[in-house]
Amino acid sequence: MSNDSALPIEITVADLDAMRARGDNFVLLDVREASEYETARIEGSKLLPMSEIQQRLSELDEHQQDHIVVQCHHGGRSMQVTQFLRSKGFGKVQNLAGGIDQWSLQIDASVPRY
C-alpha cells in the first residue's frame, strides 16, 4: 500500500484475524482498563488504557511508523484513540470495528464476553 493515508479508519475482526494468520507486522493496542484486560484479551495485545494515553504517548513513539490496530470492548473508545493518534502524526492507525466483543463472537469464542 503506497499511500498510508488511504488506510481505512476501521478494520473488521476478520481483517485482523487474516493479518495475524499472515504474520503481518503490527501493534495491537488495547485501550480498555486493566480490569477489562484481565477479564478478556486478544493474545499479543499491548495494554495502554485510553485514560492514560495522553500521559503515556511517548511509549508509542517508537511505533510512529508502524501499523497500529486499536481495540477496546465494542469499538467506541478505540475509535477515539485512533483519531487521537492520527492527529498526533501516527500515519497507520486503524480501529478494530466491534472490538473484543466481535472478536469473541466471530473469531475466538474462548475469549470471554462481558
CATH number of the domain at 80, please: 3.40.250.10
The domain total for the chain is: 1
Mean pLDDT by 10 residues, the chain (114 residues): 67 98 97 98 97 96 94 98 96 97 98 97
State the pLDDT at residue 5: 53
In a domain, 111, yes or no: no
Residue 59 lies in a domain: yes
Full domain range(s) for residue 23 = 4-106
What global pTM score does this model have?
0.93
Residue 12 falls within a domain, yes or no? yes
**Is 112 within the bounds of a domain?**
no
**What confidence score (pLDDT) does residue 57 get?**
96
pLDDT at 3: 43
Any idea which residues carry the catalytic annotation? 72
Q: Could you give the 3-state DSSP secondary structure of residue 18?
A: helix
pLDDT of res. 6: 72
